[in-house]
Amino acid sequence: MSKIEYPCLMEGACSRLVVCFSSERKGHVVIGDELHREGHYSELWTPSADTDLWKPYMPPLYEDGEICWVWDRGGDNIPALRRYDAKNKCWCYRSGVRKGKAWENHAKFEGTLPFELPKIKD
C-alpha cells in the first residue's frame, strides 16, 4: 500500500461519512452521517490507512439534480436527459426517482430545455 499524504479526504467504506485527516488518526468531519455531525473533530479515528473502513473520497461528478446527457455504447446510442443523483452516484430514472442507472457515457447539459424534467423525488 502506498504512503498516505496528509491532509487527505477519506470516505467511510460503508457510510457517507467524509473525514479530512490531518494525520493518521486526527481529523474533522467534512460530510456528516447519522453518528457524526459536520465539523466534529477527533484524535481517535480508526487509522486512515484501514481499507476495511476508509476509502479515498471521490467528489461527485455533477451537482445533485444537475441535468446531464446520458447514453450507453451499443444499442441505439440515443442520448437521453437525466438528473444526476449525487447521493447515490448515478442518474435518476426519467420520473425523477433516485437510485436510477449508472450510464456508461455522460456529459454536462448546457442550454435551455423546451420542457421541464421532473424534480428529484426523495
122 residues of the chain, pLDDT tens digit each: 468 889 999 999 888 899 999 999 999 999 898 899 999 999 999 999 999 999 998 887 889 999 999 888 766 678 889 999 988 888 898 888 988 888 888 888 988 887 888 888 87
Look at residue 75 in the predicted model and tell me its pLDDT. Answer: 64
Which of these, 33, 122, 40, 27, lies nearest to 83 by C-alpha position?
122
CB 117 within 8 A of CB 65: no
Range of the domain at 67: 60-122
Look at residue 53 in the predicted model and tell me its pLDDT. Answer: 92
E strands, 2-122, are 8-12, 18-21, 27-31, 41-42, 54-56, 67-71, 80-85, 90-91, 105-108
| pTM (two decimals) | 0.58
Residue 100 lies inside a defined structural domain of this protein: yes
Both 31 and 67 in one domain: the answer is no
Which of these, 16, 78, 6, lies nearest to 47 by C-alpha position?
6
Number of domains observed in the structure of the chain? 2
Residue 3 lies inside a defined structural domain of this protein: no
Cα separation, 80 vs 113, whole angstroms: 12
Both 79 and 51 in one domain: the answer is no
Both 68 and 116 in one domain: the answer is yes
Both 51 and 79 in one domain: the answer is no
Both 119 and 72 in one domain: the answer is yes
Both 75 and 110 in one domain: the answer is yes
Q: Which one-letter amino acid corresponds to residue 76?
A: D
Both 39 and 65 in one domain: the answer is no
Look at residue 19 in the predicted model and tell me its pLDDT. Answer: 95
Cα separation, 87 vs 110, whole angstroms: 22
Three-class secondary structure of residue 15 per DSSP: coil
Q: What is the CA radius of gyration of the chain?
A: 18
Cα separation, 98 vs 86, whole angstroms: 9
Residue 92 lies inside a defined structural domain of this protein: yes
Both 42 and 66 in one domain: the answer is no
